[in-house]
């Protein structure tokens, strides 16, 4: 069975075609800056049509024959609101509800729907599945997802914490469960899976942390939007809300200008004045750039605060999983982060931590009180698995 996974963002489109029997990728494509770079592509429907015809040409297969090589389509949908607790097969009612959630994700849900409709038109009669960024986090209780504002706004607008990066957090948690026995971690071998207290850290250009136990997310760091909590490449994370009113009054900034600043001009970029990309920041630190050093110190400080908070919520932590671009590839960031967890009796396996030939690894020593793992994320594969599971049930 071949599953086509479509990952559409506001100005980009990624796809991967998986052969689920062979456990392999048949094809993949990435179109970025749709309106800036591609004069012939003005929307996501055009982008998908271009990608589809490119696949057909590359394999020299007629359109009709190619249709039969795609057995199902899985879509990454950013926001499912409170409608969707799990992934679902797409029908008219599902599309309507995804459109209704556009109020919560105005940049992303409309393009997700655009791609779904393009697939209906270009690849008719092929079953489609929606896999939501938010659904894995829907096990949170009201005490963890409500904001301390008048309850009427939750009732009226569903203003609450939803969480994102759900497919990534789910993927690495499932990888932990699947491989726990083969890793032969002595202190965990006799533990029941449902008793394990796990913190998953998706730390890339976007960053979020989740506290998980017994397959349930207890709390996660992103809120109603991805702007909340942790500092990221260009997003501010948590700030004092009064700063917005201060900037309104003294800088005469509009709502749109302030939102753009908080989304695209803050944290690593805003503090370093160099870049929102951790690779650039680390490179400039090696050139003794003090602003980049400050930005990285603030970044680590934010991570540590929330790991401590989530360990408290879980009443301890057995496993910390590090994933996504920064934690998978930036040894200096992992080291700084883990060194500040010594209060949890985390002991770093220096050799494993610096070994970049193996991305999946245990970076804590056997006598470390908390087991720390690096597990590369694969959101597209998670979407393919969810699609395969739903289509075959």
pTM (whole model) above 0.85? yes
Which positions ≥6 away from 268 have C-beta within 8 Å?
231, 232, 233, 234, 275, 276, 277, 278, 281, 295, 299
The mean per-residue pLDDT over the stretch 134-148 comes to 96
Task: Residue 167: name the closest of 378, 5, 325 by CA.
Answer: 378
Adjacent-strand bridge partners of 76: 7, 131
* Intervals of CATH 3.30.420.40 along the chain: 2-132, 185-379
Question: How buried is residue 258: exposed, middle or buried, by Cβ count under 10 Å (0-12/13-18/19+)?
Answer: middle
Three-state DSSP class for 236?
coil
The mean per-residue pLDDT over the stretch 326-340 comes to 93
Residue 133 known to be catalytic: yes
> What's the CATH fold of domain 2-132?
Nucleotidyltransferase; domain 5 (3.30.420)
Task: Residue 364: name the closest of 172, 174, 185 by CA.
Answer: 185
d(CA 293, CA 178): 38
233 falls in which pLDDT band (50, 70, 90)? confident
Please report, for the chain, how many H helices and E strands are present, in that order.
Answer: 17, 12
Which positions ≥6 away from 223 have C-beta within 8 Å?
147, 161, 162, 163, 229
Catalytic residue among 133, 255, 256, 297: 133
**C-alpha radius of gyration, the chain, whole number:** 22
CA of residue 301 relative to chain centroid, distance = 21
pLDDT score, position 153 = 96
Is pLDDT above 60 for 261?
A: yes
Strands of the sheet containing 2-8, edge to edge, are 24-31, 13-19, 2-8, 72-77, 128-132, 88-89
Length in residues, the chain: 393
Q: At what angle do helices 331-339 and 290-314 cross, to 10 degrees?
A: 50
End-to-end CA distance of the chain: 14
CA of residue 91 relative to chain centroid, distance = 25
Task: Residue 138: name the closest of 65, 215, 205 by CA.
Answer: 215
User: Which tens digit of pLDDT belongs to each residue from 73-112?
Assistant: 999 999 999 999 999 999 999 999 999 998 888 878 988 9
pLDDT score, position 79 = 94
d(CA 247, CA 378): 39
d(CA 263, CA 235): 4
Tokens of 138: 């829907």
Note the helical H segments in 43-138: 44-59, 63-67, 92-100, 109-122
d(CA 331, CA 112): 35
Query: Which region among 10-14, 37-41, 216-220, 246-250 has the lowest average model confidence (pLDDT)?
Result: 37-41
Task: Residue 209: name the closest of 147, 289, 132, 137 by CA.
Answer: 137
Tokens of 337: 């982060």
pLDDT score, position 59 = 55
The domain 185-379 having CATH identifier 3.30.420.40: the answer here is: yes
């Amino acid at each position: 069975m071949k599953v086509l996974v479509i990952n559409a963002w506001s100005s980009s489109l990624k796809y991967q075609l998986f052969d689920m029997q062979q456990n392999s990728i048949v094809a993949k494509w990435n179109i970025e800056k749709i309106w800036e770079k591609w004069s012939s592509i003005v929307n996501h429907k055009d982008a998908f049509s271009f990608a589809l015809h490119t696949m057909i040409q590359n394999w020299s297969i007629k359109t009709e024959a190619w249709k039969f090589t795609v057995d199902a389509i899985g879509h990454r949908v950013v926001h499912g609101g409170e409608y969707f607790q799990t992934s679902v097969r797409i029908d008219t009612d599902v599309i309507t509800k995804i459109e209704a959630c556009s109020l919560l994700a105005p940049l992303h849900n409309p393009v997700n729907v655009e791609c779904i409709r393009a697939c209906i038109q270009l690849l008719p009669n092929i079953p489609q599945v929606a896999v939501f960024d938010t659904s894995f986090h829907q096990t949170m209780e009201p005490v963890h997802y409500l904001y301390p504002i008048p309850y009427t706004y939750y009732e009226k607008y569903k203003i609450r914490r939803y969480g994102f990066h759900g497919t990534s957090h789910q993927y690495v948690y499932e990888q932990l469960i699947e491989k726990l026995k083969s890793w032969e971690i002595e202190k965990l071998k006799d533990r029941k899976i449902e008793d394990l207290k796990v913190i998953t850290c998706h730390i890339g250009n976007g960053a979020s942390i989740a506290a998980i136990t017994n397959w349930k997310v207890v709390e996660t760091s992103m809120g109603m939007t991805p702007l909340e909590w942790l500092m990221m490449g260009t997003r501010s994370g948590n700030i004092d809300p009064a700063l917005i009113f201060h900037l309104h009054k003294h800088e005469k900034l509009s709502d749109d200008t302030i939102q753009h600043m908080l989304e695209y001009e803050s944290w690593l970029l805003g503090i370093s004045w160099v870049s929102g990309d951790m690779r650039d920041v680390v490179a400039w630190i090696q050139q003794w750039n003090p602003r980049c050093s400050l930005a990285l110190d603030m970044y680590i400080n934010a991570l540590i605060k929330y790991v401590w908070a989530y360990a408290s919520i879980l009443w301890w932590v057995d496993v910390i999983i590090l994933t996504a671009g920064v934690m998978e590839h930036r040894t200096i960031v992992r080291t700084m982060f883990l060194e500040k967890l010594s209060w949890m009796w985390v002991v770093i396996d220096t050799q494993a931590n610096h070994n970049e030939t193996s991305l999946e690894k245990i970076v804590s020593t056997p006598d470390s009180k908390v087991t720390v793992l690096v597990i590369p994320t694969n959101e597209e594969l998670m979407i393919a698995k969810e699609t395969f599971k739903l289509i075959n049930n």
